[in-house]
Amino acid sequence: MQLGRRALRDVVALAFFALVRLVHRLRLLERAGLLLLVRSVLLAVPAFGPVLVLAWLFGLRHGRHVPGAGSAKPDDTLTSMREPLVDGWGREIKSLRVSVTDKCNFRCKYCMPAEGLEWLPREEVLSFEEMARIVGVLADMGVDEIRLTGGEPLIRRDLPTLVAMLAETPGVEDLSLTTNAILLDRLAGPLVAAGLRRVNVSLDSLSHTRFAEITRRDALDRVLAGLEEAERYPELSPIKVNCVAIRGFTEEEVPALAELARRKPYVVRFIEFMPLDADEAWRQDEVLTGGEIRALIEERWPLVEIPAKPSSTARRYRFADGAGEIGFVNPVSEPFCSSCDRIRLTADGRLRTCLFSRREWDLKGPLRRGASDADLEGLLRWAVQHKELKHRINEPGFVRASRSMSQIGG
């Protein structure tokens, strides 16, 4: 008897969830303008009405997580409410770096060779429409943070046009740019007008000679002018200034860069040198760790840690006297792979699931052969399913990534 009652309860529960799922599917019809019609017909049946209303409310509250919703075969014409994008280790992917070009007007020693790196042929580089299409599919799966990078993104012609396209993409909530800032004095205004909301500027030295030594370009004044211009737009605040920390070079830069964080509205962040340089000259003992730099700063200015988001790559600190903020991105000494929520799209349309990937997933080919959004979604899910657990920089037998930083998009 009790068994029968339990079976009945299970059947009712199953029927209810089937209805919720149906409602969820019907909500997807909203955009096609069919929802009102279907809803009216169903509500017209008296016995069905109250149950439907209940299921509807449940579906509204739990829409994104209704079991199975959108998982079998996403509907191509109805582009919302796809399942979140989760990798094979259970990490939800929320962030995409889009490399808009592999070219650069600097030759930073830790990134590019002095000469001889071949550029991608023009036809291999994704168009803005192609980038926006991939971003649209990913945003529909919950990727809400887009960072434009390169190479040097500001040398891609008409970049504000792409920014405007991405800023309008439903689901994109955080649109940012990483740049060497040499063209920022001209472009900050148009980029902000197009919808850019954050900027990271690379700056390794405040001395003209040492800046030229590390970037192989005499361009410090233009970079500082770019920063000054960016400062005029509150939308971009706080500006982040990134310095790659290399033993034997950066120690001398630390006091001036820490002072910059104190006197300007910039968060200055030190990023540990990674084996992504095209010259393949990286050595473990050249990594100046975040801990070592923090100790150098604290000789003069005590720091206090600020809580950061779990997915944040940076450890954040404020000066104890309240004068500014410093960050440390420590991928070598304190890997943050377990909370990594990032994937990367290269300028030639390949998906990379880790900076140190040896394998890439071609999206441009399928895109240009007419893949539907559902096809792209399937490809993206498959690639992300195979995302690497972690980088293995600190392990014996570490094998370098298949491309260097400027070709990947850092």
Q: Name which of 104 and 393 has its Cβ closer to ligand SF4.
A: 104
The residue sitting closest to ligand SAM, measured at its beta carbon, is 410
Q: What does the binding site for ligand SAM look like in residue numbers (CB under 6 A)?
A: 104, 110-111, 149-150, 152, 178-180, 202, 242, 244, 271, 273-274, 276-277, 405-406, 410
First vs last C-alpha separation in the chain = 65
The number of beta carbons lying within 10 Å of the beta carbon of residue 294 is 18
* Contact between residue 368 and residue 339 where contact means Cβ atoms under 8 Å apart: no
Q: Name which of 379 and 405 has its Cβ closer to ligand SAM.
A: 405
Query: Rounded to the nearest 5°, which phi and psi values hold at 301?
Result: -130, 110
Owner of token pair 């094998």: 399
Residue 226 touches which of ligand SF4, ligand SAM, none (Cβ within 5-8 Å per kind): none
Tokens of 359: 């394998």
Determine the Cα–Cα distance for residues 348 and 336; give it in Å rounded to an integer: 27
Q: Name which of 106 and 301 has its Cβ closer to ligand SF4.
A: 106
Q: What does the binding site for ligand SF4 look like in residue numbers (CB under 6 A)?
A: 104, 106-108, 111-112, 150-152, 180, 202, 405-406
Taking every pair of Cα atoms in the chain, the longest distance, rounded to a whole number of angstroms, is 88
Q: How far is the CB of 189 from ligand SAM (least distance, A)?
A: 19
Residue 112 touches which of ligand SF4, ligand SAM, none (Cβ within 5-8 Å per kind): ligand SF4
Q: Name which of 243 and 379 has its Cβ closer to ligand SAM.
A: 243
* Contact between residue 100 and residue 347 where contact means Cβ atoms under 8 Å apart: yes
Residues 6+ apart with CB under 8 A from 285: 247
* Contact between residue 75 and residue 23 where contact means Cβ atoms under 8 Å apart: no
Residue 107 touches which of ligand SAM, ligand SF4, none (Cβ within 5-8 Å per kind): ligand SF4
Q: How far is the CB of 145 from ligand SF4 (least distance, A)?
A: 20
Residue 327 touches which of ligand SAM, ligand SF4, none (Cβ within 5-8 Å per kind): none
Q: How far is the CB of 263 from ligand SAM (least distance, A)?
A: 22
Beta strands in 150-221, from DSSP E residues, in sequence order: 174-179, 198-202
Q: Name which of 137 and 191 has its Cβ closer to ligand SAM.
A: 191
Q: Name which of 70 and 150 has its Cβ closer to ligand SF4.
A: 150
Residue 273 touches which of ligand SF4, ligand SAM, none (Cβ within 5-8 Å per kind): ligand SAM
* SS3 of residue 342 by DSSP: strand
Determine the Cα–Cα distance for residues 341 and 353; give it in Å rounded to an integer: 10
Residue 211 touches which of ligand SF4, ligand SAM, none (Cβ within 5-8 Å per kind): none
Residue 276 touches which of ligand SAM, ligand SF4, none (Cβ within 5-8 Å per kind): ligand SAM
Q: How far is the CB of 247 from ligand SF4 (least distance, A)?
A: 18
Q: What interhelical angle do 159-167 and 184-194 show, nearest 10? A: 30
Q: Name which of 20 and 314 has its Cβ closer to ligand SAM.
A: 314
Instruction: Classify each residue of 156-172 as buried b or exposed e, where b means 16 or more C-beta atoms within 10 Å of its C-beta.
Output: beebbebbbbbeebebb
Q: Name which of 107 and 210 has its Cβ closer to ligand SF4.
A: 107
Half-sphere exposure of 289 (CA within 13 A, CB side): 9
Residue 95 touches which of ligand SF4, ligand SAM, none (Cβ within 5-8 Å per kind): none
Nearest to 117 by CA among 200, 209, 216: 216
Q: How far is the CB of 164 from ligand SAM (least distance, A)?
A: 20
